[in-house]
Structure 1
Amino acid sequence: MTQIRERTVLFADLRGSTGLFETLGNAEATSLVTQTVGLIAQAVDECRGRLVKTLGDGLMAVFESPNDGVLSAIRMHEMLERVVARGRQQGASPSLRALRMQVALARGEVVEMNGDCFGDAVNVAARLLNHAGDNETLITTEVLAGLPTAKKLRFRSLDLIAIRGRAEPVHVHVLDQAIQGDVAATQFGEVQHAVEPDGIRLVWLDLDRVFDIDNMPIILGRSVQATYCITDARVSRSHARIDWHAGSFSITDLSYNGTFVRFGSSGDVVSLKRGSCTLHGNGVIGLGSPPVDATSPIVSFEVLHFADTEPHSFGHTRSRG
């Protein structure tokens, strides 16, 4: 029987499971991934949702209310964190300790047929996963509108993001949390933000653009719908995302091959694998490979204070974006 109903659609996806197969072998890794997905699926039942299907290392579920869907997402993250924490205590393999999860939710009319679900909300939620970083939960404005006020305050707007296969961009919000393991702070000392920056300059070949905080977020990727399009086959369609929050810029890796940040001209390289770090000063961003090979896609960046600084010269003509 086919029914059309208003539903909140949730997709969750484990990241890092490939490393388990490499270190544990197919049989043991398959068992572990299946058990982990089964565990986080319990959060669907606990929050009055319906598990539509499991997807290898992920799942799809639907909920009548946005609040139930968001509660389920929060519960899933808590469950996975317990699995990872237990693995650390028991000396589990680094691959298990590196497991992360992305969650995305959208709301709209859903066609329910033969136990499966179809429709625009399903497509948006599925594709929104590509824009989620390490342990992030992304939701659309339609989901946010159905949340109680206290829970709405836990989300931060990422503004409009272009979703593959959709003509109109989608207003997206992220569940706010402290950036986990901010490598920039631990490796280079605490980043000071006494004077908030006004913008950020990005340069790749002849593509020289300046973005102010009203232009956030910036999606760096190969897709023509990306905010900053880098036409190199080594770059993912949505490779990384630059956000503005709490007085600073941060970059989040969205890719499978990683994003690499080097501060200054000779600093150490920070490797982001579905993780985030704060951007400060100037440096370079390697997309898919460390910024040591001059032929690889490397984006120069500079955090700008328009009032009292002059931008560095990267050897390219500057244009405002």
Structure 2
Amino acid sequence: MTAIRERTVLFADLRGSTGLYESLGNAEASAMVTQTVSQVSEAVLESGGHLIKTLGDGLMAAFETPRDGVRAAQRMQEMLERTVQRARRLNNPAMLALRLQVALARGEVVELNGDCFGDAVNVAARLIDHAGDGEILITAEVLAGLHRASKGRFRSLDRISVRGRVEPVHVYRMDGGPLLSTDDAATQFGEPMRSVEPDGMRLIWHDLDRVFDIGAMPIVLGRSVQATYCITDARVSRSHARIDWQGSSFELTDLSYNGTYVRFGASGEILSLKRGSCTLHGSGVIGLGGLPTDEQSPIVRFEVLHFADTEPQQPFGSSRSRR
């Protein structure tokens, strides 16, 4: 039977499973991924939702209210975090890389034979591509259905172009950032930034030299003309990466298919984010869709600024533009 109803649609995607297949083999890794997805899907029923289907390393669900959908998204993240913490205690390194991305949209959907179709389904499915590790993204329609106190937990990422849709979507992210412990961040992404909190971020690509203060966050780097920092290169995704202010530091998150690479200083180690995140400190370069060592790749130089300093760090030039 076909029915048209207003629904909150949720997509969740488990990432970081590549290491499982490399270390455990296809059969065991596939069983572990299936088990993990099954565990987090329990949050759907706990929150009064309907599990539409599982999608290999992800799932799709629908809820009557935005509140139920957001509650389920939070529970999923909590469940996966407990799984990762348990793997750490059991010294199971292959599981430590698992992260969950969740996206929710709301609107009219067509319910047919246990499945859902419609614009809200398409938006949620595409929006998952813009989520970083451990993030929960929602549309303005989902935000409108939340209680006032819950709305305060979400921060606007402005309007984002999603694949297959002409009109951009106003997207919000739940505060708190990726669910990575301090130890994880230090292990994966090198030393932490200096203890004095920064005041701004400088980005340079060719002659596009801009300074952003904290109030200008988030910064979306991408090929789209609607990106905060537009880089007109075919190797750059429309929304390729995002820089957020996380309360005391700047965090870079890869949103692309081709990857984002970071090198601190003139000759530091190159970090491959691949849908991951890292804290930006000092100065260095960001490779969008290619390694910073590849001169043909679009390379953005960055500098974390402390406006109390008399001069920005070298090797940046003397010109400066403020947003």
Q: Decide: shared fold, TM above 0.5.
A: yes
For residue 299 of structure 1, what is the aligned residue in structure 2?
Answer: 300
**Separation (CA, whole Å) in 1 of partners of 2:98 and 2:188:** 22
**Correspondence for 1:191 among 194, 201, 204:** 194
Q: How does 1:62-101 map to 2 (within 5 A)?
A: 62-92=62-92, 94-101=93-100
Q: How does 1:138-217 map to 2 (within 5 A)?
A: 138-177=137-176, 180=180, 181-183=184-186, 187-194=190-197, 197=199, 199-213=200-214, 215-217=216-218
- Are the counterparts in 1 of residues 261 and 290 from structure 2 also a CA contact under 8 Å? yes
CA gap of 1:24–1:185, structure 2 versus 1, over 3 A, is: closer
Once the 2 structures are TM-superposed, how far is the Cα of residue 74 of structure 1 from its aligned partner?
A: 0.9
Unaligned runs of 5+ in 1: none
Percent of aligned positions with the same letter in both sequences?
Answer: 69
- Are the counterparts in 2 of residues 184 and 277 from structure 1 also a CA contact under 8 Å? no
For residue 16 of structure 1, what is the aligned residue in structure 2?
Answer: 16
Residue identity matched to 2:99:
R
Q: What secondary structure does 1:51 align onto?
A: strand
Q: What secondary structure does 2:30 align onto?
A: helix
- Are the counterparts in 2 of residues 185 and 191 from structure 1 also a CA contact under 8 Å? no
CA gap of 1:184–1:98, structure 2 versus 1, over 3 A, is: closer
For residue 102 of structure 2, what is the aligned residue in structure 1?
Answer: 103
Once the 2 structures are TM-superposed, how far is the Cα of residue 226 of structure 1 from its aligned partner?
A: 4.0
1:63-108 Cα distance to aligned partner (Å, 9 max, x none): 001111111111111111222222222232x332211110001111
- Are the counterparts in 2 of residues 184 and 270 from structure 1 also a CA contact under 8 Å? no
**Separation (CA, whole Å) in 1 of partners of 2:235 and 2:32:** 31
Once the 2 structures are TM-superposed, how far is the Cα of residue 203 of structure 1 from its aligned partner?
A: 2.4
**Separation (CA, whole Å) in 1 of partners of 2:225 and 2:150:** 34
**Separation (CA, whole Å) in 1 of partners of 2:18 and 2:271:** 22
Once the 2 structures are TM-superposed, how far is the Cα of residue 188 of structure 1 from its aligned partner?
A: 3.5
Q: What secondary structure does 2:75 align onto?
A: helix
Q: What secondary structure does 2:39 align onto?
A: helix
- Are the counterparts in 2 of residues 205 and 316 from structure 1 also a CA contact under 8 Å? no
Once the 2 structures are TM-superposed, how far is the Cα of residue 177 of structure 1 from its aligned partner?
A: 1.5
Unaligned runs of 5+ in 2: none
Which moved further from structure 2: 240-249 or 224-233?
224-233
- Are the counterparts in 1 of residues 189 and 278 from structure 2 also a CA contact under 8 Å? no
| Structure 2 length-normalised TM | 0.84
**Separation (CA, whole Å) in 2 of partners of 1:64 and 1:242:** 33
In angstroms, what is the RMSD of aligned CA positions? Answer: 3.0
Q: What secondary structure does 1:294 align onto?
A: coil
